[in-house]
Amino acid sequence: MVAITVIGSLNYDLVTYTSVVPRGGETIHAKSFETHYGGKGLNEAVAVGKLLSPEQKNNIQVKMIGRVGNDLFGKEMKDYVSSVGVDVENVLVDDAERSGTAVILVEDSGENRILVIPGSNGKLEVTEKILKEVIGSNKNQFFILQNEQPDPVKHLELIRKIEPEATVVYNPSPIKDFNTENTDVLGAVDVLVVNESEALDCAKAFSTEAREGNIGEERSKFVKLAKDLKGFLNQSKLSTVIITLGGEGSLVVSDAFPEGQHFPAMELSKKQIIDTTGAGDTFLGAVTVRLANGDSIDQAVVFATAAASLTVQGKGAAEAIPGYEQVSKLVSS
């Protein structure tokens, strides 16, 4: 039995759709308002749950570690995550803090701006006791982490201490101050997934060019950057850096692709792109699902690219994430 555990945030999304966002001091009429389930941790857990194949559902257990408030938002989010097959026993209820929320503005172009109120997410603490209970006697472990939690570095180190053979997939988003200490902790990471701006922020820890803003946007520059980042990762297993490039696809540097391999995005018209909010989280979850299945990194990225392309064609974050059958059909078409 393989286990995939997501450690991270659950946010109740308050989404406004508008033609353009207002300037300072300006009031405009928006088009519509909706509520959705979100938070990077919740999105990733839902992506993993939805994207398991029928065969994987018998062989892969999905769990989430998180924290919600003792309120309606928290109950709804736990119930939703559970409904897609994710074990939420360790999504704890906080009586002192409200559930995390996110205020999201989505423009006609599909671009979004997000304000996050951490709430109970800010009190998330993963203890050695919790991790040992989650892992149990199962040595075939995958962990997904991001930075919507108080101390991801501590959690990364704790995972390595308790289960050195676990496969760790990490997205340092939202990016925090990245320094030499952070690059040291990348030694606990097997697969690093970053977008272009996050990659540049990571590079500031070791690159004078990046610190001075002179690294440029050419793909060759990002290949070098990914190769440099790969050198900080755990070298005993996958040791893979994936830089997502939005509408341009993604760039992978791994042992299989030491000089970098570009994977194009699915072609979509502007009218097809409705909301990009959950695309990155879907991609991350999809990559992990396929790696846990034993797929090669290129197979995993192709599947994840298709999953993300379907996500951006729907409203909301978690609810827009497609199921395995939809993605599999698109990949094979």
User: Is 248 among the annotated ligand-binding positions?
Assistant: yes
Active site residues per annotation = 281
The answer to the question of whether 275 is labelled as a binding residue is: yes
246 marked as binding residue: yes
Residue 49 annotated as binding?
no
Q: Residue 32 pairs with which residues in a beta bridge?
A: 17
C-alpha to C-alpha distances, 118 to 9, 70, 146, 159, nearest whole angstrom = 8, 14, 14, 23
228 is in an annotated binding site: no
| C-alpha gyration radius of the chain | 19
| Whether 279 contacts 130, CB under 8 Å | no
* Listed residue (165, 144, 187, 173) closest to 288, CA to CA: 144
311 is in an annotated binding site: yes
Residue that the structure tokens 């994936």 belong to: 242
- Extract the tokens encoding 280: 């990155």
Beta strand pairing call for 60-69 and 112-117: unpaired
Q: Is 40 annotated as a binding residue?
A: yes
8 annotated ligand binder: no
Nearest to 41 by CA among 270, 284, 320, 327: 284
277 is in an annotated binding site: yes
DSSP conformation class of 48: H
CA distance 49 to 6: 11
- Residue 43 annotated as lining a ligand binding site: yes
Q: Per the annotation, does 154 bind a ligand? A: no
Question: Is 280 among the annotated ligand-binding positions?
Answer: yes
* Count helices and strands in the chain by DSSP H and E runs: 11, 13
**41 known ligand binder:** yes
- Decide if 250 contacts 235 (C-beta within 8 A): no
Residue 316 known to bind ligand:
yes
Residue among 221, 213, 152 nearest 7 (CA): 152
Is 42 labelled as part of a ligand binding site? Answer: yes
Distances (CA, A) of 182 to 123, 190, 202: 21, 15, 9
Torsion angle (degrees, nearest 10) of CA 18, 23, 24, 27: -50
Binding site residue list: 11-13, 39-43, 148, 195, 244-249, 275, 277, 280-281, 311, 314, 316
Binding site residue list for K(+): 275, 277, 311, 314, 316
Binding site residue list for substrate: 11-13, 39-43, 148, 281
Binding site residue list for ATP: 195, 244-249, 280-281
